[in-house]
Structure 1
């Protein structure tokens, strides 16, 4: 399981995701699996997939990704057809053969304060 830093994230979100989920992949250029957000971006009304999650604030429901974007998770996890289609394209572009939904593990990890 990827270790996600738990930290206060006070920056304004640049992306707000509804109907979000978290998935794990092994990218060809990475030594270890990474976790990514997928959801429906409210600012653009389109699906969105993030770069690898690097930190999460359970109090503000915000994540920082490796690219430096700040994501705010809106509402509960869920699914959206456009987000799932975007995820499929992202997986093909990144030559990923297998992905794993880790949303329940992500939620449990956060409830435990980042302890594995």
Structure 2
């Protein structure tokens, strides 16, 4: 499988992620991974700088906004991209905080998920 460059933030300022995860590195940076619905590909974001837990919207270091669709999940394409990305940067440890993000989202919405669609 091949990894290719992404479109610029000017071209695609907002993207939707399905089967998403929030992965936290030892330095505290959090990255989103998931299936990008618009481009039909696995995706890894730059570091998250703002996470709106009520609406499941994240803004990353690049300025891109991600809409997290549905509950957290797992996507093979996204896992592959994450594996390649972490390998290139010699990252060997991270923590999956997706469940806590999802639970906090539900808590902020009286137990009912908001749909970003």
TM range (shorter): 0.7 to 0.9
Residue 88 (structure 2) aligns with? 93
Query: How far is 1:97 from its partner?
Result: 1.1
- With 60-69 and 35-44 compared, the bigger mean Cα shift is at 60-69
> Cα distance 1:22–1:98, how it changes in 2: closer, same or farther (>3 A)?
same
- Are residue 63 (structure 1) and residue 62 (structure 2) matched? no
Structure 2-normalised TM-score? 0.73
Q: Which residue of 1 aligns with 2:16?
A: 16
Gaps of 5+ in 2: 1-11, 109-117
Distance 2:103 2:29 in 1: 17
Q: CA RMSD in A?
A: 2.0
Q: Which one has a larger percent strand, Structure 1 or Structure 2?
A: 1
For 2:71, which of 69, 76, 79 is the aligned residue? 76
Structure 1 match to 2:111 = none
Q: Does 1:106 align with 2:101?
A: yes
Aligned residue pair count: 97
CA distance, structure 1, for counterparts of residue 50 and residue 106 of structure 2: 14
How far apart are residue 67 of structure 1 and its match? 1.2
Partner residue, 2:114: none
